[in-house]
Structure 1
Amino acid sequence: MSRTVGEHTADPCPRCFVHAVRPGEPTAVGGCDVVGYLCDRCAHAWTRPVEDDLDVYDIVRVDLTDATLYGTVWQMDADRVLVRGTSGEWLRWVERWRVIVY
């Protein structure tokens, strides 16, 4: 489970369990699209799969460089997702690799 740090979300490192804001990088491992992370404290690297089974109305978390947003999938393209804010106050297209089903 993640915790909120200001406008960012901090997830713990699976090795040292230190919470920190970590930007992910899209990459591929074994032909699968994944997001790679690196812990600044212990140098552990890990990945998570890019969500490929998103549906309209899924509740999601969007990890941006400068903020973490929570909302609902409103529309999808092959490489991007339109996310609507929880109260409908915003709509934003984001890259699919930034979206995590919440």
Structure 2
Amino acid sequence: MAAEIITKEDLDAFEQRLLQHIRLLIGGSPAEPKKWLKSYQVRNMLRISPGTLQTLRVNGTLSYTKIGGILYYKQEDILKLLEGEQKRKS
């Protein structure tokens, strides 16, 4: 079996493809992604507890809008948070 060398550029390209795939899964179709997400959707997406989501709100990591007692989060903010996590791990 031949060894295959993976470069940093290969990993960067993989990361971009993976993030694009995640965006498609989150938004459904690329033509009309959801702009606002409810708390349960954000928790499922990030795989976090309600308490962790509250901590992200309180410390300002994740902005939100409250309408009629329901909290909404911008999808682009969630994606930025995910991208930031990916950069910290690499």
User: Which protein is richer in helix relative to its size?
Assistant: 2
Asked if TM exceeds 0.5, the reply is no
TM-score w.r.t. the length of structure 1 is 0.23
TM-score w.r.t. the length of structure 2 is 0.25
- Between the two structures, name the one with larger relative contact order (CA 8 Å, sep ≥ 6): 2
